[in-house]
């Protein structure tokens, strides 16, 4: 199932980020690159991805202890070349993007951090997903990948702010493939100050994704960039 990542230390995996030009993708890319993870940053527009990758690489280098490697390309090329792929596209394009990449993503760990969120005059709310959750939608479209949900609650603002050397929060990791969730927990643990915490099966992904909507309310009320910690673990 997770052939590309099988048995290899997480540090050695090439991490692709689809939708890597958006705030969440860019933030994860810069933080992972800064700790030495090789990153491929993808976008629909490969040229745009290469531009952003150059800038992400430069910023990561200012905070990095070792070598920084960030390259850009089309989502298709990145999906094919990476060992593990993070999906950080807008929800509106999620199903189409993922469905089109089923072949290059086969045999890989696919980490979905997409949040089904809408806004109206009352604030943020959760969008309906026919499959139950975005992660389950990805799993339905990627039968030969190991889909994991993670990285929903990490503030893009804090990820991108490299003047803060340490983040503060846990990454809730949901999925049905133990090897895949273990790998994603290890990847989350590479972000400074963060832990990956296993938080259940994919059928319980919806509320993890949707809790991000509540964090938006927290941010508005408290002027914060809220995340969460799991206590007693």
Q: Which residues bind its own copies (CB under 8 A)?
A: 122-126, 155, 158, 168-169, 172, 174, 197-201, 203-204, 206-208, 210-211, 213-218, 221-222, 224-233
Q: Looking at beta carbons only, is 62 or 217 nearer to its own copies?
A: 217
Determine the length of the chain: 233
Q: Looking at beta carbons only, is 140 or 211 nearer to its own copies?
A: 211
CB of 8 to its own copies, least distance (A): 23
CB of 184 to its own copies, least distance (A): 14
Q: How far apart are CA 151 and CA 172, in angstroms?
A: 7
Listed in sequence order, the residues at least 6 apart from 187 whose beta carbon sits closer than 8 Å to its beta carbon are: 10, 13, 15, 32, 37, 84, 111, 196
Q: Looking at beta carbons only, is 76 or 219 nearer to its own copies?
A: 219
What torsion do the CA atoms of 132, 135, 136, 141 make, to the nearest 10 degrees? 130
DSSP line for 188-205: HTTSTTEEEEE---GGG-
CB of 158 to its own copies, least distance (A): 8
Name the phi and psi angles at 84, rounded to 5: -135, 135
Q: Looking at beta carbons only, is 99 or 157 nearer to its own copies?
A: 157
Q: How far apart are CA 170 and CA 135, in angstroms?
A: 18
Q: Looking at beta carbons only, is 66 or 231 nearer to its own copies?
A: 231
Beta strand pairing call for 169-175 and 146-149: antiparallel
Name the phi and psi angles at 181, rounded to 5: -65, -35
């Amino acid at each position: 199932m997770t052939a590309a990542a099988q048995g290899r230390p997480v540090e050695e995996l090439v991490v692709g980020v689809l939708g890597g030009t958006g705030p969440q993708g860019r933030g994860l890319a810069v933080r992972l690159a800064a700790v030495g993870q090789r990153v491929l940053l993808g976008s629909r527009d490969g040229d745009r991805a290469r531009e952003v990758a150059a800038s992400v690489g430069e910023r990561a280098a200012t905070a990095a202890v070792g070598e920084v490697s960030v390259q850009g390309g089309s989502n298709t090329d990145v999906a094919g070349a990476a060992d593990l792929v993070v999906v950080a596209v807008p929800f509106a394009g999620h199903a189409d993007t993922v469905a089109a990449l089923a072949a290059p993503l086969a045999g890989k760990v696919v980490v979905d951090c997409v949040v089904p969120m809408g806004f109206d005059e009352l604030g943020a709310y959760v969008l309906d997903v026919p499959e139950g959750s975005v992660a389950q939608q990805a799993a339905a479209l990627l039968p030969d990948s190991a889909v994991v949900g993670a990285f929903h609650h990490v503030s893009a603002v804090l990820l991108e702010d490299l003047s803060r050397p340490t983040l503060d929060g846990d990454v809730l990791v949901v999925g049905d493939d133990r090897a895949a969730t273990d790998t994603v927990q290890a990847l989350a643990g590479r972000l400074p100050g963060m832990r990956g915490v296993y938080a259940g099966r994919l059928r319980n992904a919806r509320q993890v994704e949707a809790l991000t909507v509540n964090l938006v309310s927290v941010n508005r009320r408290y002027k914060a960039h809220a995340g969460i910690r799991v206590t007693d673990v």
